[in-house]
Amino acid sequence: MKSSRRSFIKSAIGVSTGVLATGRLLGNTLHVMPLLKKNQTPRIRFSVIGINHSHIYSQVNTVLRNGGELVGFHAKEDNLAANFSKTFPQAKRVNSEVEILEDSNIQLVVSAAIPCERAPLGVRVMEHGKDFMVDKPGITSLSQLANVRKIQQKTGRIYSIVYGRLESRTMMKASELIKTGAIGKIVQTIGTGPHRVSPESRDEWFFDKKYFGGIICDIATHQFDNFLYLTGSTSGKIIASQVGNFHFPQYKHFEDFGDAMIQGDKGSGYIRVDWLTPDGLATWGDGRLTILGTEGYMEIRDYDIAGREAGNHLFLVDQKTTQYINCREERPLYGQRLIEDILNRTETAMSQAHCFLATELTLLAQKNAIKLNTLK
């Protein structure tokens, strides 16, 4: 499939939702600052297989920031590999994934392959005794999920899907406030994830749901994870869901709108995602999350589109006042905890049960969604 190198570089140097890159831009390449001191022993050694989405840059940086050593990578696409090599010159490009899978000195494989290829790759990684860190959506069908669950339980390896919440400063602060009872008992979350589509910057696979699983499977994984995390729910069911294509008749296998209602054992949620962000917006999309409690509510804004600069905005309304909290000083712990889990065989970054439940609910909402007759 044809790739747009210029658009890939442009997206790679940006900051993805809730996933923060570490580096500085020189020319057309994102250069990562030295993260290990001279002669410092790396905590783990890791490699990359599959670089089809620009999230791979922030994923790699997350591991590097926390003491990982990037050893090598495998990519089929020469144009994508060339830019990855410029960004991470320490990583040797290998001819096949087998060279990585059979290297006993590598503990973790990181991937942002084409979405439908991620789960089969993760199975191969776990069967080779390695842990797996994968971009969302980490799994694109219920049959894939069943196989991943089986192999993960059999091998005891880590299958970590990088939901945006894991490196979100605002989500860290919101969770802390919820635990103190700042807004009482959580009743509902409302999560929206609008995105700009920019067709000229996308590969062919982006517009065919057999590769990405559908809009709910793709984007809404973030919102389902948020719902479980904030309400503390350990079970849930989909009340209703729907998908459609309102604006892109030239892409018959694409979806530009999806929403869902979910009921958990400790709260309810509504989710809406779309690819309908207009070009007049200065950022990728006006994503927001509202958390309703019995004594108040909070709103998280990825960006304040008409006011404050940058992101990490949290608004808290309780029985006494309305507060604005800038969360830029919060320190995400996902990367640190993931490496500790790899070394200690623990589940402090995210439990496998939570990881798989968020994906299961997302896939059920996608599979059972009503198809809207949007282009007739």
State pLDDT tens for residues 150-202: 999 999 999 999 999 999 999 999 999 999 999 999 999 999 999 999 998 89
Rounded CA separation 182/195 (Å): 31
Return the pLDDT at 344. 98
Q: What is the pLDDT of residue 303?
A: 77
**Model pLDDT, residue 85:** 97
* CATH annotation of 5-162: 3.40.50.720
CA 233 to chain CA centroid, Å, is: 20
What is the predicted pLDDT for the residue at 178?
Answer: 97
5-162 and 166-333+363-371 share one fold: no
pLDDT along the chain (376 residues), means of 10: 38 36 35 52 96 96 97 97 97 97 98 98 98 98 98 98 95 96 98 94 93 97 97 98 96 96 98 95 90 98 72 93 92 96 98 98 98 80
pLDDT for the residue numbered 283: 83
End-to-end, the C-alpha distance of the chain in Å comes to: 30
Domain boundaries, the chain: 5-162, 166-333+363-371
For the stretch 277-308, what's the b/e string if a residue is b when 16 or more beta carbons lie within 10 angstroms of its beta carbon? beeeeeebbbbbbbbbbeebbbbbbbbbeeee
Q: What is the pLDDT of residue 262?
A: 98
CA distance 138 to 362: 11
Q: Which uninterrupted H or E stretch holds 354?
A: helix 352-367
CATH number at 166-333+363-371: 3.30.360.10
Which residues share a beta bridge with 192? 272, 288
For helices 78-87 and 5-12, the axis angle rounded to 10 degrees is 30
Predicted model pTM: 0.89
In this predicted structure, what is the pLDDT of residue 35? 54
Q: What is the DSSP letter of 329?
A: T
Q: Which residues of 44-65 are buried (b: 16+ CB within 10 A; e: fewer)?
A: bebbbbbbbbbbbbbbbbbbbb
Distances (CA, A) of 298 to 66, 314, 339: 30, 7, 31
Residue 32 has a pLDDT of: 42
The pLDDT of residue 93 = 98
